[in-house]
């Protein structure tokens, strides 16, 4: 499996964990059910962080012939790559989120909407031939109509949550286990039966902070 496929596997496993570890006795609010779109991607995006942990990669990687784990120098390059042009990547997500909201609240033509939003959120304006909405499958073929912003908001809370593990030291397995149990007993178990804001506060002891997201993109 490629590194990208492993990252996707960890992402989807985050969703699976919410279903497997739910303690909510009612099906309509157990697991992922009834969770607001603002937080639906929280555990999945949280899990992606572990593929950037050297301990994790050392345990799961292996050369197809020798079985040797991924070399440290290659891993360091992966860490650099994930932050390459981080500001541009973040700005693109903000642009798509704003475009989604505007398309679902405006009576103007879609091209006018694209131009209006691009004026605020892009450095290089889209070409006239660029038909972004026609390929924006999440908001038309998926379930993210007027809710694409959920990806970026979920990243805010997922990066803050991972910060709890970093603060105790990812090498400190006993402390990581303690934080992991708290994560299990709150984020992964309470499903849609508790407001996501309250669930986060139960785990972190406060509201989310933006600095963890900015750190992820290499902006602080």
Report, as residue numbers or ranges, the catalytic residues: 12
User: What gap in Å lies between CA 12 and CA 83, rounded to an integer?
Assistant: 22
191: region left, alpha or beta (phi > 0 left; psi from -120 to 50 alpha): left
From the centroid of its chain, how far is CA 209?
15
* Sign of the four-CA dihedral 99, 105, 111, 113: negative
The C-alpha angle with vertex 172 and arms to 176 and 212, in degrees rounded to 5, equals: 60
User: 44 with 187: CB under 8 angstroms?
Assistant: no
No. of helices (H) and no. of strands (E), the chain? 11, 0
């Amino acid at each position: 499996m490629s590194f990208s496929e492993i990252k996707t596997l960890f992402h989807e496993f985050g969703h699976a964990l919410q279903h497997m570890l739910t303690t909510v006795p009612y099906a309509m609010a157990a697991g992922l059910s009834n969770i607001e779109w603002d937080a639906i991607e929280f555990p999945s995006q949280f899990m992606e962080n572990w593929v950037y942990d050297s301990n994790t990669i050392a345990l799961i990687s292996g050369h197809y012939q020798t079985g040797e784990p991924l070399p440290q120098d290659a891993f360091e390059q992966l860490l650099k790559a994930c932050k390459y042009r981080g500001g541009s990547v973040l700005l693109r997500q903000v642009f798509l989120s704003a475009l989604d909201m505007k398309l679902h609240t405006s009576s103007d033509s879609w091209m006018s909407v694209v131009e209006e939003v691009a004026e605020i959120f892009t450095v290089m304006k889209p070409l006239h031939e660029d038909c972004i909405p026609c390929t924006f499958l999440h908001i038309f073929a998926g379930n993210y109509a007027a809710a694409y912003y959920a990806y970026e908001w979920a990243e805010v809370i997922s990066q803050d949550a991972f910060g709890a593990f970093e603060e105790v030291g990812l090498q400190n397995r006993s402390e990581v286990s303690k934080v992991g149990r708290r994560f299990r007993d709150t984020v992964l178990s309470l499903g849609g039966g508790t407001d996501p804001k309250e669930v986060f506060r139960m785990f972190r002891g406060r509201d989310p902070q933006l600095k963890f997201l900015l750190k992820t993109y290499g902006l602080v």
